[in-house]
Amino acid sequence: MWGLSECDGSVERFYRTMSEEHYDILLRTNKITATRETFISPTRAFSQYPNMDMRKGWTYTNAYFKTETLRSTSTQQINIGLGKGKVLDIFDENILSFLKVTI
């Protein structure tokens, strides 16, 4: 899970499922490894059960905001695709801390 500082000093928390290899890279570099889509979620449940329907060509130039519904609870939220380019770089530059969460 990651946190970004907001203007008022509070921290916004995000979740991301990743392999042990990618977690080791995060520990060494403080950067998320770019994957096909590189999505983060404001809730833990969505990071564990992704069901993405993606538009092609967005990953190097844009963020992708997608409304998703968790089937088990019908809860909706916006998940954020960081892609592989500048958006991911900006996110990485603003990581305050991270913590491994065991499923």
pLDDT band at 26 (very low <50, low <70, confident <90, very high): very high
Asked if residue 22 belongs to a domain, the reply is yes
pLDDT of residue 28: 94
Please, is 27 exposed, middle or buried when counting C-beta atoms within 10 Å of its C-beta (0-12, 13-18, 19+)? exposed
Asked if residue 77 belongs to a domain, the reply is yes
Asked if residue 69 belongs to a domain, the reply is yes
* Per-residue pLDDT at 4 exceeds 60: no
Asked if residue 85 belongs to a domain, the reply is yes
Asked if residue 79 belongs to a domain, the reply is yes
Number of structural domains the chain divides into? 1
Asked if residue 84 belongs to a domain, the reply is yes
Chain mean pLDDT for the chain: 81
pLDDT of residue 2: 46
Q: How many helices (H) and strands (E) does the chain have?
A: 3, 6
pLDDT of residue 7: 54
Q: Which range marks the domain in which residue 36 is found?
A: 2-98
Q: Where are the alpha helices (DSSP H) in 30-75?
A: 44-48
Asked if residue 103 belongs to a domain, the reply is no
